[in-house]
Chains A and B, each alone.
Chain A
Amino acid sequence: DAGVIQSPRHEVTEMGQEVTLRCKPISGHDYLFWYRQTMMRGLELLIYFNNNVPIDDSGMPEDRFSAKMPNASFSTLKIQPSEPRDSAVYFCASKLAGGNSPLHFGNGTRLTVT
């Protein structure tokens, strides 16, 4: 099993540009999560999906952020337009159903917006 795969690993873009982050969850997992990590705020949950359906997007900072999961093996997080304060490491994670099933994280995308 390759684990959760995220791309790109690093993204540098200019303010105002559109950014798309990609995630391939572990096959067979029921849930997919998008987190953002900064030194100041730690790991923050942005949105999560259950069986490809968005369940809770209350953590999405503002309308500039959107996430989709068109099928069980692919999800995207899009920021349009990007701003310097969006600079962070974005993690995707997946899990099986059940409260005692842990999260499996990808290695993240480090986003820098200049």
Chain B
Amino acid sequence: SQKIEQNSEALNIQEGKTATLTCNYTNYSPAYLQWYRQDPGRGPVFLLLIRENEKEKRKERLKVTFDTTLKQSLFHITASQPADSATYLCALSNQAGTALIFGKGTTLSVSS
């Protein structure tokens, strides 16, 4: 069956450092990989999307890589801030973007 694993449940880093979160998957050939942010008591909010034929995508302090050979995505937040503290979810989808399956998330804590 399809499986998505995010490297750890929790990640603690100091302000100003780069946070790197990992998403691995098996038994799936996704057309798209997406990253979402979820704050306590709120729904997930979309951050970035990368296509299967793209290697890297950037948006401000965020960078996502996608390696379909390794079946892995890395999500980087550079110059992290306490406001970046949240749970980050990766998600895989098919060409239509409908069969979207989520990892359980990694909770990032950035201390000042």
A residues with a Cβ closer than 8 A to B are 4, 31, 33, 35, 41-43, 45, 48, 50, 55-56, 91, 93, 95, 98-108
By DSSP majority rule, is chain B's interface helix, strand, loop, or mixed?
A: loop
Q: Find residues 56-109 in chain B having any chain A CB closer than 8 Å to their own CB.
A: 89, 91, 93-105
B residues with a Cβ closer than 8 A to A are 31-32, 34, 36, 41-46, 49, 51, 89, 91, 93-105
Given A104-B46, A105-B43, are A55 and B98 neighbors across the interface (CB < 8 Å)? yes
CB neighbours of A101 from chain B (8 A): 97
Complex contact B43–A99 (CB within 8 A): no
| Docked CA distance A31–B96 (Å) | 11
Given A42-B105, A45-B100, are A99 and B94 neighbors across the interface (CB < 8 Å)? yes
By DSSP majority rule, is chain A's interface helix, strand, loop, or mixed?
A: strand
Complex contact A100–B46 (CB within 8 A): no
Complex contact A102–B34 (CB within 8 A): yes
CB neighbours of A106 from chain B (8 A): 43
Complex contact B93–A108 (CB within 8 A): no
Known: A55-B98, A95-B97. 14 other contacts (CB 8 A): A31-B98, A35-B102, A41-B104, A42-B104, A43-B89, A43-B102, A43-B104, A100-B49, A100-B51, A101-B97, A102-B34, A102-B46, A103-B46, A108-B42
| Docked CA distance A35–B98 (Å) | 12
